[in-house]
Amino acid sequence: MVLKLTRLSVPERNSLVPAVLPALVEVMRKTSLNRAIVMMKYLILWVHLGSDEDRLLKAYRRFIEAVSCWINVLPNTEGARSLRRLKETLTVIVERQSLLASKEAKYHVRLSYSQYALLLDAMMPEERRLHIPRLLSALKGEMTEEVSSHEQAVEISKALTLVVAWALNDHRDSELLQLYDQIVEVTKSYAGSISSFVVRAEVCGATRKIEGTLRELFKTTVQERAANALAWARQENV
């Protein structure tokens, strides 16, 4: 059910969310912790992708209140702690979206890029592929402006750390490789304006890793083409 809703457009999903969330409370309570964790991650993604309408925020608050009754009394296992952290994350994001709905606060509130990147990292590669261009575009737009705060730079640094791994795994996707290459150029300029030495070093380190990954992928591609050409030539001479 959760996966099917995730595949819908934002307007379609938002129209169903208020009716689905009460049922989801019972489903999560009766299912395994691992499945409940996956469901909670998707709910966080739904809010990130657009849920600043008052009726939706109220529905999410009711959901959080309902699941808290049993999540908070779970045995203190690793899975239970993970689920509690996700529930707290959902609470924070819902409140952020509530602020975003206020015109006075829109300029001051920014979505957490690191949290969004973590959600994408938890997805299967084919699902993540659908969202990566959106995240990279947002990061690129954010980094073309002046550094607004230390927190913003930290969020971008955390997101870039995950982008490094994705760049290595997406070496056959030419569209994504172009986006990663563009991110490298923007990040180099952005890093120079970060006042914190530690955060600047982290951003520069992530940039060098992405750049190095792209360089190695280019070498591999050239070597593969050369090997293919040599194999073809040998076959022709047989």
Assess whether 127 and 204 both reside in one domain.
yes
16-30 pLDDT per residue, tens:
999 999 999 999 989
Q: Which of 102, 121, 154 is the last residue of a domain?
A: 102
Q: Where are the alpha helices (DSSP H) in the chain?
A: 2-6, 10-30, 33-50, 54-71, 78-100, 113-121, 125-143, 150-169, 174-191, 197-237
Parent domain of 205? 113-232
Asked if 72 and 47 sit in the same domain, the reply is yes
Round to whole Å and give the CA distance between 190 and 57.
34
For CA atoms 9, 10, 16, 21, give the dihedral sign.
positive
Q: At what angle do helices 197-237 and 174-191 cross, to 10 degrees?
A: 150
Is pLDDT above 90 for 128?
no
- Are 12 and 94 part of one and the same domain? yes
The answer to whether residue 142 sits within a structural domain is: yes
Domain count, the chain: 2
Closest by CA position to 61, among listed 35, 26, 32, 97: 97
> How far is residue 173's CA from residue 185's CA, in Å, rounded to a whole number?
19
Q: Are residues 86 and 6 in the same domain?
A: yes
Report the half-sphere exposure of 127 (CA within 13 A, side-chain side).
14
Instruction: Please report whether residue 107 resides in a domain.
Output: no
Report the sign of the C-alpha dihedral through residues 219, 223, 228, 232, in that order.
positive
User: Are residues 95 and 125 both part of a single domain?
Assistant: no
Q: What is the pLDDT of residue 102?
A: 54
Q: Which amino acid is at 210?
A: I
Statement to judge: residues 163 and 219 lie in one domain? yes
One domain, residues 221 and 119: yes
Its pTM surpasses 0.85? no
Q: So what's the pLDDT on residue 59?
A: 92
* Greatest mean pLDDT range, 61-70, 140-149, 229-238: 61-70
C-beta atoms surrounding 204 within 10 Å: 17
Q: Note whether 38 and 3 are same-domain residues.
A: yes
pLDDT of 222-236, one tens digit each?
A: 445 444 445 555 565
**Same domain as 89, residue 140:** no
Is 167 contained in some domain?
Answer: yes
Four-point Cα dihedral 43, 152, 167, 131, nearest 10: 30
Q: Are residues 92 and 126 in the same domain?
A: no
Does 163 lie in the same domain as 90? no
| Mean pLDDT for the chain overall | 79
Same domain, 222 and 130: yes
* Boundary-marking domain end, from 102, 125, 144: 102
